[in-house]
Amino acid sequence: MHRVVIHPDSRSVEARDGEKLLHAAWKAGAGIKSVCGGRGKCGSCLVQIESAAPGALGEPGESESELLPAHPAGGTYRLACLCEIHGDIAFSVPPESQAVLAAPRKPHTLTAVAARPVVRRISVRVDPPAFDPPRSLARRLTDAIAPALSRRAIHLPLGTIADLSALRGFDGLAEVTATVHRERDVIQILPGRRARTCGLAVDVGTTSFVAFVCDLESGEVLATRTAGNPQAIYGEDVISRMTHVQQDPSTLATMRRLLVDDLNRLVDDACRECGIAQDDLVDAVFVGNPTMQHVLLGINPESLGRGPYLPVWSDGVEVEARDLGLAIAPRARVFVFPMVSGYIGGDTIAALLTRGADF
């Protein structure tokens, strides 16, 4: 691994041998324009090399050399999308090459909607291991949680028990808080009392995305964060990104990871502002245009870019946060909105549901 320092913010990141400057910069949170999607066609990702050990940079090829401008004042300039890293380097991003990472606040209208959360928390006392009759921890938890929900039976998945068993002294906890989805599925068990339940709502756009942290009981929006979509290193439009996936299917996983990593950064920041733990985020919903929803779920979006322009799937889908790499309660359900067609996504449906005829 090589150390890369990016100015003017002095950000640093570890880069693999042969990795492009453009990708390293976005990993570090330093946005660089890439109008052509990193194909070495536009020259918008021009950067200036500040320092580099001998052999730390790959030699510019013919296509890069043709796009590099002449600089009478001297200095070494490279195109970030084509320049490979082979050693420790430092470079700066001129103002004209900087992409907007902290995107302007996406316009939104707050609409009064009755709060009807599908997740709630209950705190219960648990019988000790030696309590008669002897029962497994799972049985003792079930016997405590089900009556508190006024149910004869609940679903306590093995995975939830496994999460609890990672805590020291898990088998002797006298009081726990259970997070229950749809009054039946126990998705989280934490020691002690934890009353607050919060959720995450995210709108993923092609150029930017916005995340809202909400109180599930009151419906209050506690914090809002927005940022530029880091997938822009593969092009500023969805067709460019589809082309990258078509040429190299492994790009899809990278695009997804870039988005989720940046979103986790915003979620962490928002939780600090609200004074809540990230495992207090126990429900989530995502909307976006069809391409962004495909990429989020790791589904190849190529079919959206060619006739008859149909999505791979169109129904709403529910997955666990851990499957997306989302840094909230690991087994929290994440609902991704349905799509009407290959060009009408969950973002439009969400707007219609909340705004109605005013949309």
Asked if residue 148 lies in contact with residue 122, where contact means CB atoms within 8 angstroms, the answer is yes
pLDDT of 358 strictly over 60: yes
Give the pLDDT confidence of 212-225 residue by residue, as tens digits: 999 999 999 999 99
Q: How many CB atoms lie within 10 A of CB 247?
A: 9
What is the arithmetic mean of pLDDT over 12-39?
83
What is the arithmetic mean of pLDDT over 40-45?
84
One-letter amino acid at 98 equals Q
At 199, is the pLDDT very low, low, confident or very high (cuts 50, 70, 90)? very high
Distance CA 68, CA 4 (A): 21
Asked if residue 171 lies in contact with residue 129, where contact means CB atoms within 8 angstroms, the answer is yes
Compute the mean pLDDT over every residue in the chain, rounded to the nearest whole number: 89
Quick one: pLDDT at residue 311?
94
pLDDT of 207 strictly over 90: no
Instruction: Tell me how far CA of residue 239 lies from CA of 1, 35, 234, 310, in angstroms.
Output: 32, 12, 10, 14
pLDDT of 153 strictly over 80: yes
At 192, is the pLDDT very low, low, confident or very high (cuts 50, 70, 90)? very high
pLDDT of 105 strictly over 60: no
Quick one: pLDDT at residue 289?
95
Residue 213, strand partner residues: 200, 223
Q: Which residues of 298-331 are buried (b: 16+ CB within 10 A; e: fewer)?
A: ebebbbbbeeeeebeebeeeebebbebebbbbbb
Structure-block tokens of residue 238: 């969805």
Residue 179 — φ and ψ, nearest 5°? -100, 120
pLDDT of 70 strictly over 90: no
